[in-house]
Chain A
């Protein structure tokens, strides 16, 4: 038994299963982070403190660096997909590898940020701003780790599929790319909201 439209698109809907699936999943992710951003707004409005001062303790240069890293990783991600469409597997490996490196880079920088906070005895329990800061960035970090796992699989063992079902593999990379772009997108919102405003 074979499930129809795993690779080919269905004519009347214009998509294949996986693409529709990932977009639905991302819709639910939007609701997840949407709820957290709403929480942020409500807590900030109701707070007795001035959050635009509270966030001065955050490290803007490091966050900027991280923003650059993530934007670059989205570029390499899209390149790895484009390479597959041009049937260039070697380049795919290169770009996907770079994407994964960028993701690790992001996490390492994040690690330095976190540990600097802990050294200064700044914890989630210190105040509500730090609470939401740690919660949101940690949840985002978990999503980054998820992306690393998926991408590493497609870079390593999962890439064998290229030899047997190249079209399906290209599809999978597109799906992984959509997810990864979403993770980057969340950061693009987190950065100004948490660090700047």
Chain B
């Protein structure tokens, strides 16, 4: 049964009048509106991205100048100042700016707390234990609290229902719960800094036996992960049901914008890959709290003493369970980014995407394959050459769909009259950056070359090329692109371009040297950046280059932050369809702010998602809901 257009429209009217009665708390804090929830996710995730970035900058101090006293205030001052300025301008009132200002101040306070503790910095010099905390929490925060919530929770939540012409998500209350469970997960992770021994310090991968015998922070980390996993399970169920059930009339699967497809596949990955990690988390909790030995071999000797546990377990079990999640997770990191990039490229080349169908099939195939490549992270564990051969083969196969997607996007540029606005610049930069990231993955995927590269900075370079100038750029692109939909205003182009060029140059100065260091054999997770190793000496000077580039890049982010908050109030006003785009999100009329329910009239779709420059049409874009 199709929805009865008239009755839905009536409900909509009724709803608008009752909307005013919603209290502040129901409207902005415990809202069930997917747009508000999307923004909540977005702000929270951006704050966590900034925190993860701060941790990285602190690590980079140690790597560039091992053993030098840590100039804490040099790191704290900028964010504290920014927070105070934001609070000074907005004051304490219920608004996004106040929340952001308070978070910035809190972030500064956290780093002050960590930096002034003698347990972390005796005489101002960083201890290895603290470096390990930073490393583990940087990874955890970036992946689980920053990028995924921003790519899926924020963009998916805000844009996807609009693009399919739905009034909201299929389960609005569940949606609210997903956010708050995610929030609890974030709070839990932050609390772990205040327990004895500090936060988790066994890497974002939490390999046992190290993690099993680590300080209390690891237990809190596991609890935090249980929250985050539950949140993303709720979210992914909601996403899939929404996409399958709430598509507007006429919007068949092959007319879905590629962004929606990307979210669709991503949700399946989250749904099916996360539970094994949840199981692994429970097992590790049992090991730590109930004294079991799931991941503990018999007779393990630590600091000269045999551990009292019964043994009989195997650390490899954790690695299998972890990577069964974490490999699909890397596609969770990249697929939504590809979705965002596709929308922006189609829009700014004013051309249909090249090979829409191959994009879709490639994404689906990618999703399937990502479940059977996980052990390419484990070539060096001695699991045997037969198993290695299998996983090396599947890894080579999975690079094919990635290449298809990238090629289709590059070919889409061909012959377009490209508009070089800020979102497009980020999108264009994404292509070669993701290209480098993907290509550097191939030598890692071959078990013989991985012998040399495994656990070196090359791996770090590889995945950061995919995630940082890849996914993060896509996320920036998305923010610049959909900002007008959320606020009715555009972000400033000049500030945006400064932000782009600065970030683009710095990114490469940060991550390319990692590939060089890695090829020279410098191990990852070294607290002194390799200073003690003879083979590292010739590439040691790069540490300072990378660190300085990282700090300079931080300065360029200020342009983004200023631009973001300034444009909410002062940006150039634009129409509903700011970029003259074709998809349904831009046809939603009431912008801003979109009312709960999204569309005044229930949209009906008559054509594919990217009908740009169709011959014979009056405009160079033909919206999906436009009749013949």
- A21 and B294 form a contact (CB under 8 A): no
Contacts of A131 in B (CB 8 A): 286, 290, 292-294
- B314 and A35 form a contact (CB under 8 A): no
Question: How many interface residues does B have (CB within 8 Å)?
Answer: 49
- B317 and A13 form a contact (CB under 8 A): no
Minimum CB–CB distance for A112 against chain B, Å: 20
Minimum CB–CB distance for A175 against chain B, Å: 12
A46 within 8 A of B: yes
Minimum CB–CB distance for A46 against chain B, Å: 6
Residues of B within 8 A of A (CB): 1-3, 8, 11-12, 15, 167-168, 170-172, 233, 236-238, 240-241, 244-246, 271-276, 278-280, 282-283, 286, 290-294, 309-310, 312-314, 317, 320-321, 324, 596-597
In the complex, chain A residues 21-58 whose Cβ is within 8 Å of any chain B Cβ: 21, 24-25, 27-29, 31-36, 39, 42-43, 46-49
- B167 and A17 form a contact (CB under 8 A): no
Question: Given A9-B1, A34-B276 in contact, is the A43-B313 Cβ separation under 8 Å?
Answer: yes
A61 within 8 A of B: no
Q: How far is the CA of A31 from the CA of B597 in the complex (A)?
A: 34
Q: How far is the CA of A30 from the CA of B409 in the complex (A)?
A: 36
A125 within 8 A of B: yes
- A8 and B237 form a contact (CB under 8 A): no
- B312 and A128 form a contact (CB under 8 A): yes
By Cβ-Cβ distance, the 3 closest A-B pairs, closest first, are A125-B291, A1-B597, A35-B276
Which of A11, A21, A127, A135 sits near B241, CB closer than 8 Å? A21
- B292 and A125 form a contact (CB under 8 A): yes
A197 within 8 A of B: no
Q: How far is the CA of A86 from the CA of B238 in the complex (A)?
A: 31
- A32 and B276 form a contact (CB under 8 A): yes
Q: Looking across the interface, which residue of chain B has its beta carbon closest to that of A129?
A: B312
Contacts of B238 in A (CB 8 A): 21
Minimum CB–CB distance for B628 against chain A, Å: 22
Contacts of B290 in A (CB 8 A): 123-125, 131, 134
A157 within 8 A of B: no
- A28 and B314 form a contact (CB under 8 A): no
> Can you list 8 A-B contacts with CB-CB less than 8 angstroms, sorted by A residue number?
A2-B11, A3-B172, A4-B167, A17-B246, A21-B170, A28-B271, A35-B279, A131-B293
Minimum CB–CB distance for A158 against chain B, Å: 14
Question: Given A123-B291, A139-B282 in contact, is the A10-B276 Cβ separation under 8 Å?
Answer: no
A65 within 8 A of B: no
Contacts of A125 in B (CB 8 A): 290-293, 309-310
Contacts of A35 in B (CB 8 A): 275-276, 279-280, 321, 324
Question: Given A24-B237, A25-B233, A39-B283 in contact, is the A124-B168 Cβ separation under 8 Å?
Answer: no
Q: Looking across the interface, which residue of chain A has its beta carbon closest to that of B252?
A: A12
List 4 other contacts, CB 8 Å, given A17-B170, A42-B314, A125-B310.
A13-B244, A35-B276, A46-B314, A123-B291
Which of B11, B233, B291, B292 sits near A135, CB closer than 8 Å? B292
Contacts of A27 in B (CB 8 A): 271-272
Q: Looking across the interface, which residue of chain A has its beta carbon closest to that of B240?
A: A24
Q: How far is the CA of A5 from the CA of B244 in the complex (A)?
A: 11
A126 within 8 A of B: yes
Q: Looking across the interface, which residue of chain B has its beta carbon closest to that of A19?
A: B241
Contacts of B245 in A (CB 8 A): 4-5, 10, 13, 15-17, 20
Contacts of A20 in B (CB 8 A): 240-241, 244-245
Question: Given A4-B3, A21-B171, A131-B292 in contact, is the A39-B321 Cβ separation under 8 Å?
Answer: yes
Question: Given A21-B171, A28-B275, A48-B312 in contact, is the A5-B246 Cβ separation under 8 Å?
Answer: yes
Contacts of A132 in B (CB 8 A): 294
Minimum CB–CB distance for A39 against chain B, Å: 6
- B15 and A127 form a contact (CB under 8 A): no
